[in-house]
Amino acid sequence: MLRLFLVRSLNKKNPFKGDLNHIHHIVNNHFRNSNYTLLFSTFLFVFPSLLLFFELETYYILLISIIVYTLIIKYLKKN
C-alpha cells in the first residue's frame, strides 16, 4: 500500500482512488495467465519469510524485500 500511495502521489493522482497499479495486475499483464500470477504473488508474500532463515534484523528484511519488489516491478513494466 505504501508503494501505491507513493506512486499515485508522485503522479499527482488521488492516493485514495483505485487504479490497476497493484502488483497482481502488473504480474497478470505480463504473464497473461492466472496460475502464474498466483504462483508469483505467493512467492512475493513468502519471500520475506524465507529471509528469516538468514537471521537478519527486521529492517534488513524489509529493505531487501522493498528492493527486490521494486526491481521486479520495474522489470515487468518494462517488458
Q: Give CA–CA dist 54/48, Å, rounded.
A: 11
Q: Which run of H or E residues covers position 65?
A: helix 58-78
Q: Give the residue extent of every domain in the chain.
A: 22-78
Q: Give CA–CA dist 3/38, Å, rounded.
A: 20
Model's pTM, two decimal places?
A: 0.62
Instruction: Tell how far CA 41 is from the center of its chain.
Output: 8
Q: Give CA–CA dist 24/61, Å, rounded.
A: 21
Q: Give CA–CA dist 23/75, Å, rounded.
A: 12
Q: What cell numbers appear for 63 in the block?
A: 529493505
pLDDT in tens, the chain (79 residues): 777 888 889 999 998 998 888 888 888 888 888 888 888 888 888 888 888 888 888 888 888 888 888 888 888 888 7
